[in-house]
């Protein structure tokens, strides 16, 4: 990289990152993501073992990613308030990256790792200014986005194409009016709404200034060709529609011909007298003025509340709004604030005939499933697991097998309206525990009184006492606890100073069992 770009390396990389940052400000992402550069490190020459500053280089993309992830963790400042701290790292390299069978790989990253210091990293093969697309694609993976041809995305993207968005498995054309697919927007939204972007909330102390002009202002069509195909390459004129695809001269199998990687000319490239490229189109400079004026987005009205998640026992229903009054344009800010609001519904008691609790019902769905885990005996029943579950994991569907006792997270979220725990009135909403009163209403301050009456004042019950002072060897009937009793206190006054006096508490039902 340093040898190829020379003194222009820093400005070139910042130009690429400025373009990638602009992609993340596109309204189709449906999230306010601001990409900034806090640190730029140029790695020096390699030693005899092809190692740069302790970073082992290799053409194997997967191995290169692992090496870089380990290396960048040591480079990062752990304190968020440090001006050189970064949330994710990108390695740009001119070295060819290879996959399992071909060397067509342009980048690689793990999925959903943005706040994991050991794995929030990606690698990009420098391929000219279009490396901005690769950088945005790999950052998309770090933000939990899948390829648009993955099974979840095929369902979410219908009827939209799976090949014209930023997260297409092979980028040959990206629609400038619709950069991110519905699937990408949903996955990053769910990822951030679940609190997985907590490390991104701090404001950078001293970000590097990204170039303001469009990249084509600094790099004409000839220079764009050189950055992609080498120093001898030049722009091929009079081929196809100006701005749509950059065609460049080069030698292929010894023959001099024009070639392309199907990416458009850089925005701001001159495409005729008084004309400039923008979003793959050649437009007049008068039209260009509109693109120089950012338009910030504004929230539209709230929609109607949807279907309740439960028919009884306290469900949740949602209302949504869109950032479309107006839709942000030309790099303007996306709306900030809540896009979704919710409220309680169907809070009445469930019929007494249904003995299973709501979480039990969700675990029971997996009863007798033979496709969950290999090697497990079948049939197998599943019941909720409560003991040993961390508070932050209460809204995951953690179920325990009977009779083996193994427990697993069978769903990342329980259904909305599920109580967070057996002894809590709070409920799970979108994977998070939300406070609710004893009346099953979210946000309610009602509590059970000492009589276990919701919102009561403690006057609906009476105190009952009992004592036993003449024990004999064996079981003794001490006291009968009235049905419906609450706040039971049992105290033993022992004359012995020993911590164990041989007295134990036993309880039996009315039928003697």
Annotated binding site for Ca(2+): 80, 87, 199, 202
Under 8 Å CB-to-CB from 315, ≥6 apart: which residues? 308, 309, 344, 345, 346, 347, 416, 417
Q: Which of 70, 84, 125, 138 is catalytic?
A: 138
Q: How far apart are CA 484 and CA 512, in angstroms?
A: 18
Contact 417, 428 (CB under 8 A): yes
CB-side neighbour CA atoms (13 Å) of 61: 22
DSSP 108-133: EE-SS-TT-TTT-EEEEE--STTHHH
Supply 418's token pair: 């599920």
Length of the chain: 513
Contact 309, 416 (CB under 8 A): yes
Residue matched to tokens 């794995």: 119
Give, in order, the Cα–Cα distances in Å from 49 to each of 24, 46, 56, 92, 262: 38, 7, 8, 20, 36
Q: How far apart are CA 378 and CA 372, in angstroms?
A: 10
Contact 31, 323 (CB under 8 A): no
Supply 124's token pair: 């990009």
DSSP type of residue 28:
G
Is 336 a known active-site residue? no
H runs (alpha helix) in 317-454: 358-364
Q: How far apart are CA 417 and CA 437, in angstroms?
A: 13
At CA 245, angle to CA 149 and CA 285, rounded to 5? Answer: 120
Query: Hey, which residues does 270 pair with through a beta bridge?
Result: 276
Helix, strand and coil percent figures for the chain, each rounded to 5:
20, 15, 65
Q: Long-range contacts of range 244-252, CB-CB < 8 Å, 24 or more positions apart? A: 244/280, 244/281, 246/221, 248/224, 249/225
425: exposed, middle or buried (Cβ count in 10 Å: 0-12, 13-18, 19+): buried
Contact 219, 227 (CB under 8 A): yes
Q: How far apart are CA 385 and CA 400, in angstroms?
A: 5
DSSP type of residue 249:
E
Backbone phi and psi for residue 355, each to the nearest 5 degrees, phi listed first: -80, -20
Catalytically active residues are 138
């Amino acid at each position: 990289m340093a040898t190829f770009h020379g003194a222009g390396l820093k400005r070139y990389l910042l130009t690429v990152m400025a373009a990638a940052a602009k992609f993340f400000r596109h309204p189709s992402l449906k999230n306010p993501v601001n990409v900034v550069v806090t640190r730029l490190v140029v790695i020096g020459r390699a030693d005899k073992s092809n190692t740069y500053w302790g970073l082992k280089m290799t053409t194997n993309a997967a191995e290169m990613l692992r090496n870089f992830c380990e290396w960048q963790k040591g480079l990062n400042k752990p304190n968020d308030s440090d001006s050189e701290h970064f949330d994710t790292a990108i390695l740009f390299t001119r070295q060819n990256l290879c996959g399992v069978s071909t060397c067509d790989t342009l980048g690689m990253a793990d999925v959903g790792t943005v706040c994991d210091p050991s794995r929030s990293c990606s690698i990009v093969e420098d391929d000219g200014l279009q490396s901005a697309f690769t950088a945005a694609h790999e950052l998309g993976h770090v933000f939990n986005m899948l390829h648009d041809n993955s099974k979840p995305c095929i369902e979410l993207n219908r009827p939209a194409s799976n090949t014209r968005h930023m997260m297409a498995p092979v980028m040959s054309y990206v629609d400038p009016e619709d950069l991110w697919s519905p699937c990408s927007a949903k996955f990053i939204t769910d990822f951030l709404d679940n609190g997985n972007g907590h490390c991104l909330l701090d404001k950078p102390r001293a970000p590097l200034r990204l170039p303001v002009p469009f990249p084509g202002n600094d790099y004409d069509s000839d220079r764009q060709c050189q950055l992609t195909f080498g120093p001898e390459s030049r722009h091929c004129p009079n081929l196809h529609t100006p701005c749509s695809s950059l065609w460049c001269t080069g030698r292929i199998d010894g023959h001099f011909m024009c070639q392309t990687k199907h990416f458009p000319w850089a925005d701001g490239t001159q495409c005729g007298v008084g004309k400039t490229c923008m979003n793959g189109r050649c437009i007049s400079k008068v039209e260009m003025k509109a693109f120089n004026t950012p338009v910030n987005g504004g929230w539209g009205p709230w929609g109607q509340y949807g279907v309740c998640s439960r028919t009884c026992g306290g469900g949740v229903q949602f209302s949504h709004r869109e950032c479309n009054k107006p839709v942000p344009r030309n790099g303007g800010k996306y709306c900030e604030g809540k896009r979704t609001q919710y409220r309680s519904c169907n809070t009445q008691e469930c019929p007494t005939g249904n003995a299973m609790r709501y979480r039990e019902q969700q675990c029971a769905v997996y009863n007798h499933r033979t496709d969950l885990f290999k090697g497990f005996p079948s049939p197998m029943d599943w019941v909720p697991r409560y003991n040993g579950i961390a508070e932050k994991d209460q809204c995951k569907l953690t179920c325990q097998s009977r009779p083996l006792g193994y427990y697993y997270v069978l769903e990342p979220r329980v259904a909305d309206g599920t109580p967070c725990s057996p002894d809590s009135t709070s409920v799970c909403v979108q994977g998070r525990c939300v406070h609710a009163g004893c009346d099953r209403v979210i946000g309610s301050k009602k509590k059970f009184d000492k009589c276990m009456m919701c919102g009561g004042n403690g006057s609906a019950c009476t105190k009952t006492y009992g004592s036993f002072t003449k024990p004999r060897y064996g079981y003794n009937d001490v006291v009968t606890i009235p049905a419906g009793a609450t706040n039971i206190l049992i105290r033993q006054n022992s004359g012995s100073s020993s911590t164990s006096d041989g007295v134990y508490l036993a309880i039996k039902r009315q039928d003697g069992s």
